[in-house]
Structure 1
């Protein structure tokens, strides 16, 4: 039996509407994109990579793989880890990569609020920014989740990718375009993927940061206690395949999240931090403009 191998990857950036974009692409009949493999860290973590591509077959088959042209997989941390990009290249040097970039200070705040919502982040935003470098050395989770400034260094990340992949194999999108003109963005994506037959898309927004409806249930569901780990490892994971666990997690997140305008809610609470971040990212944004030959004036306001 021939193995089903992903050939297209959503690589990031974190908190930039990648879950929605992944879902929209997956709606095309020429695409097989299991929701369970969005943010599955196959090329990030050795424990998953060492299982081989065989470990992904059930998810593609469950999704109804039928020799579709595009086989999708993704993780928002791929753009942040050049070793993962190199593994993807070694796996398939002709792979196509898609990333969505969000104004970096806004992205940083959204990520902070998201991890607060998950009951993972315990510091204030100011403390988290000041202690980022120190914390990033403490654990792999801190390196990937709490590096709010480092994640916004897009020019550096893209230059590292262009040292591995040809530029024409990476499609760079902007979060603001995804939000304001999703139809145009999807036309651009389908052209990039050489899918000439356009397909109607249901434009549902997924994995919005929002705010927690019921903190008690949020803490219960995402608590990192040893008791919860024992239950998950011994009573849930062995009996519920990845796609079912993913559906349960997404359903809970959607149910327990109040949708809010990320630019307006409590914005005044973080004015000082955002202003400092704007200064911090100024040169990086200019470098990104030159790298992509794209006007990012809105990011400088």
Structure 2
């Protein structure tokens, strides 16, 4: 099948998961000169079997003159994404956002805990050999970046730190715009804002699972005042398992060598990533 290259992305945000890529995607999506699909395609990771025609169709709605891109935060850690992406769009400009891997692992765990995918046995999930290896392995940035560095020229890969997004969001967005080849204008979306904010109350898990089949049916009513009052009356804050200092120490030891090599690559001091302190 011949893929219309004019409809393929000229830039891709490849990750990492839980490193403010949602904020960046929302900022870029708000630019009139850019087009990104609303949802993450995950084509070069988990949806590759859907084929190149399906992937190209995701960008068919782009207006003439718009720069086309996409964001799928799991590409960075996926073992095959780099080779697949390089084979299909070798000239793509890549943006990778990296967060303190200890904080990233904990935030990822909390996201799945919130969804009910994992339980409160945090030690079992954030320990080497876990049944959910993504929590630890996705933060081995040096290993993952090597796959992309082997297949893309250095000038096509931009590395952004989560710390910079929080400290200087406008300057960071401008730098991303220069990298992908278009000016950007920041819109009022805070770096910590999420569509599924980890601090927002939720319906009890059992009730959420019971109502799951009705999700599409009730979607049109979500903005109605009566619906929001009902939701507020039933929703409860999430009590997340804490990342204890002893577990943080084990995570620090797990990531120490990779963080050191990444700091050398970026020519930045990343020692604060390995500090033993409690935060999320």
TM-score (norm 1): 0.75
Q: What is the total number of aligned residue pairs between the two structures?
A: 260
Aligned-pair distance for 1:215? 3.4
Relative to structure 1, the CA distance from residue 58 to residue 219 in structure 2 (aligned partners, 3 Å threshold; closer, same or farther) is farther
Name which of structure 1's ranges 67-76 and 17-26 shifts more when overlaid on structure 2: 67-76
* Partner residue in 1 for 2:35: 32
* Partner residue in 2 for 1:70: 67
Aligned-pair distance for 1:208? 5.7
* Partner residue in 1 for 2:278: none
* Residue from 159, 182, 185 that aligns with 1:199: 185
Alpha-carbon distance between aligned partners in 1 of 2:184 and 2:266, rounded to the nearest angstrom: 27
CA RMSD, Structure 1 to Structure 2 (Å): 3.4
Aligned-pair distance for 1:33? 0.8
- Secondary structure of the residue aligned to 2:119 is coil
- Secondary structure of the residue aligned to 1:97 is strand
Structure 1 residues 1-301: aligned runs within 5 Å: 2=4, 4-36=7-39, 38=40, 40-45=41-46, 48-56=47-55, 59-61=58-60, 64-130=61-127, 132-133=128-129, 135=131, 142=132, 146-195=133-182, 197-204=183-190, 205-207=193-195, 209-211=197-199, 213-216=201-204, 218-221=205-208, 223=209, 231=213, 269-301=243-275
* Partner residue in 2 for 1:138: none
TM-score (norm 2): 0.80
Alpha-carbon distance between aligned partners in 2 of 1:109 and 1:155, rounded to the nearest angstrom: 19
Between Structure 1 and Structure 2, the one with more helix by share is 1
Alpha-carbon distance between aligned partners in 1 of 2:243 and 2:9, rounded to the nearest angstrom: 42
Aligned-pair distance for 1:49? 2.5
